[in-house]
């Protein structure tokens, strides 16, 4: 059982690979490319998941949305009082938020109304907003992407929203969110609830939805079912459902991607099998000489295994290294289009790096067993050839 690594054999395997440069290079390149493509996708996915997980604690426990005919509509603010009367509810806030389509650029912004900026509020805001100018009049804070679009259309200081009656509503830009939170804030505009209602033409006693804070996590399910009883037409989203959705967001679809990718993995398997089966006379003679020198079949098999392991190890290292560089330093050009789709407003895609051993292990199991398996039968064919037959 004690399989120690035989360094002479390792050296021999290295040389053997070196002697068949073109073959090694071809197989190595294909394998590297395969690993690179897979790892780039999984790195992006794991980074997005990680980024989402960072902020999930800060989300409210329950969101209540009113549905009408399956469509989300405004909910009367008075529902807040009903919800507050439920035991276990710590706080309920009527939210005003929505999308504003900026026609000239073809970009939808997310407008979020918050309560009037209070003193302590402003202090914490200063941490996330660059060059924040405090003033008492109505103003807005914008994400970096929004600010870029504004500048392109010469709205450097303020922006004119078009209200539903066609009149203009001007808001000065008070600051831009810092780069650190770009992934969260890129297309966001934060303004007062009053301004948001003005732009959306919403009545003062209506809200977009209601968020509920529950202090005890054990009670969330109970509170959620009570709210559902009180408002049968409401869609109730618990934080747990959000968390699962977060995990699903990428997992499910990268699973679909992977299941399609399996086709190319098997194609790869075939190519390797074919390539390794075709032995040159040079190789045949080599094996013949080894056997004539008294090498046992097991030893030759072991040497072939070393070759496969070395080649796949090198390909793994190169593939993963290049993918790391591609995703985290070049910010995944081309591949990011899959994630961004047709969005006009693009973030710079500065994904946070996560040292995720699970992803590395996943990549290992998707590539190396396949290659080693493909090399088993050809190696065995080689190793069991008769010395006299080959050298004749």
Binders in 326-385 for other proteins, by CB under 8 A: 328, 337-345, 347, 349, 352-355, 358, 361-362, 364-366, 369-370, 372-373, 376-377, 379-380, 383-384
Tokens 């302590």 belong to 120
DSSP assignments along 128-180, one per residue: HEETPPP-SS--EEE-HHHHHHHHHTT-SSEEEEE-TTS-EEEEEEEEEE-GG
Closer residue to other proteins, CB minimum distance, 167 or 345: 345
C-alpha span between 27 and 320 (Å, rounded): 16
Q: Which residues inside 274-333 make contact with other proteins, applying CB under 8 A?
A: 297-298, 301, 314, 317-318, 320-321, 324-325, 328
Closer residue to other proteins, CB minimum distance, 235 or 284: 235
Binder of other proteins out of 30, 33, 37, 107 (CB under 8 A): 107
Look at the alpha carbons of 320, 41, 38, 354 in this order and tell me if their dihedral is positive or negative.
positive
Taking the complex as a whole, how short is the minimal distance between the CB of residue 281 and other proteins, in angstroms?
22
Question: With binding defined as CB under 8 A, does residue 233 bind other proteins?
Answer: no
Closer residue to other proteins, CB minimum distance, 157 or 389: 389
DSSP assignments along 74-97, one per residue: -EETTHHHHHHTSTTEEEEEEEEE
Closer residue to other proteins, CB minimum distance, 30 or 324: 324
Taking the complex as a whole, how short is the minimal distance between the CB of residue 222 and other proteins, in angstroms?
8
C-alpha span between 233 and 226 (Å, rounded): 13
Closer residue to other proteins, CB minimum distance, 58 or 167: 58
Closer residue to other proteins, CB minimum distance, 89 or 188: 188
> Burial, 324: exposed, middle or buried (Cβ in 10 Å; 0-12, 13-18, 19+)?
middle
Question: Cα angle vertex 103, ends 99, 107, to 5°?
Answer: 55
Provide the CA 76 distance to its chain's centre, in angstroms. Answer: 36
Q: Which residues inside 190-229 make contact with other proteins, applying CB under 8 A?
A: 190, 211, 220-221, 224-225, 228
Binder of other proteins out of 178, 216, 264, 267 (CB under 8 A): 178
Candidate ranges 8-16, 149-157, 199-207, 279-287; the one touching other proteins (CB under 8 A): 8-16
Binder of other proteins out of 9, 206, 230, 265 (CB under 8 A): 265
Q: Which residues inside 26-65 make contact with other proteins, applying CB under 8 A?
A: 42, 45, 48, 50-52, 54-60, 63, 65
C-alpha span between 246 and 235 (Å, rounded): 18
| CA separation, residue 347 to residues 110, 185, 340 (Å) | 14, 9, 9
Taking the complex as a whole, how short is the minimal distance between the CB of residue 361 and other proteins, in angstroms?
5
Closer residue to other proteins, CB minimum distance, 110 or 387: 110
Of 358, 362, 372, nearest in space to 273 by CA: 372
Q: Which residues inside 140-159 make contact with other proteins, applying CB under 8 A?
A: 143, 145
C-alpha span between 30 and 319 (Å, rounded): 10
Question: Cα angle vertex 294, ends 293, 297, to 5°?
Answer: 125
Q: Which residues inside 117-136 make contact with other proteins, applying CB under 8 A?
A: 124-125, 127-128
Count of chain residues binding other proteins (CB under 8 A)? 123
Taking the complex as a whole, how short is the minimal distance between the CB of residue 19 and other proteins, in angstroms?
10
Binder of other proteins out of 33, 37, 105, 181 (CB under 8 A): 181
Helix ranges (DSSP H) in 6-118: 7-19, 21-55, 79-84
Of 339, 375, 276, nearest in space to 46 by CA: 339
Taking the complex as a whole, how short is the minimal distance between the CB of residue 365 and other proteins, in angstroms?
5
Candidate ranges 20-28, 78-86, 199-207, 250-258; the one touching other proteins (CB under 8 A): 250-258
Taking the complex as a whole, how short is the minimal distance between the CB of residue 3 and other proteins, in angstroms?
9
- 362-374 burial by CB neighbour count: b if 16+ within 10 A, else e? bbeebbbebbbeb
Of 376, 268, 381, 330, nearest in space to 44 by CA: 330
Closer residue to other proteins, CB minimum distance, 132 or 364: 364
The strand ranges marked E within 219-357 are 234-238
């Amino acid at each position: 059982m004690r399989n120690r690594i035989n360094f002479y054999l390792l050296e021999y395997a290295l040389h053997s690979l070196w002697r068949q440069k073109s073959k090694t290079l071809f197989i190595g390149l294909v394998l590297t490319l395969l690993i690179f493509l897979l790892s780039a996708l999984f790195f992006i996915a794991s980074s997005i998941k990680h980024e989402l997980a960072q902020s999930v604690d800060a989300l409210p426990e329950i969101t209540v949305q009113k549905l009408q005919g399956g469509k989300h509509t405004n909910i009367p603010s008075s529902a807040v009082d009903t919800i507050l009367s439920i035991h276990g509810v710590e706080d309920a806030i009527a939210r005003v938020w929505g999308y504003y389509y900026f026609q000239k650029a073809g970009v939808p912004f997310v407008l979020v109304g918050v309560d009037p900026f209070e003193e302590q509020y402003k202090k914490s805001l200063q941490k996330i907003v660059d060059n924040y100018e405090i003033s008492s009049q109505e103003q807005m804070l914008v994400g970096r992407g929004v600010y870029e679009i504004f500048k392109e259309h010469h709205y450097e200081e303020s922006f004119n929203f078009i209200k539903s009656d066609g009149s203009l509503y001007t808001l000065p830009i008070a600051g831009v969110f810092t780069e650190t939170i770009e992934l969260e804030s890129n297309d966001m505009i934060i303004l007062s609830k009053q301004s948001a209602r003005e732009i959306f033409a919403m009545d003062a006693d209506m809200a977009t939805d209601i968020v509920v804070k529950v202090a005890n996590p054990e009670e969330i399910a109970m509170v959620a079912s009570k709210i559902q009883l009180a408002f049968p037409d409401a869609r109730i989203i618990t934080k747990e459902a959000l968390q699962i959705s977060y995990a699903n967001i990428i997992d499910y679809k990268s699973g679909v991607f992977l299941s399609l990718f399996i086709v190319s993995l098997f194609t790869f398997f075939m190519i390797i099998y074919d390539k390794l089966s075709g032995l040159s006379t040079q190789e045949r003679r080599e094996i013949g000489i080894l056997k004539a020198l008294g090498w046992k079949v097991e030893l030759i098999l072991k040497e072939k295994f070393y070759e496969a392991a070395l080649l796949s190890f090198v390909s793994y290292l190169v593939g993963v290294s290049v993918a790391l560089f591609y995703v985290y330093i070049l910010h995944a050009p081309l591949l990011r289009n899959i994630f961004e789709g047709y969005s006009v407003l693009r973030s710079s895609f500065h994904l946070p790096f996560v040292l995720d051993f699970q992803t590395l292990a996943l990549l290992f199991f998707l590539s190396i067993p396949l290659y080693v398996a493909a090399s088993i039968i050809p190696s065995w064919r080689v190793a069991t050839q008769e010395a006299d037959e080959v050298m004749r």
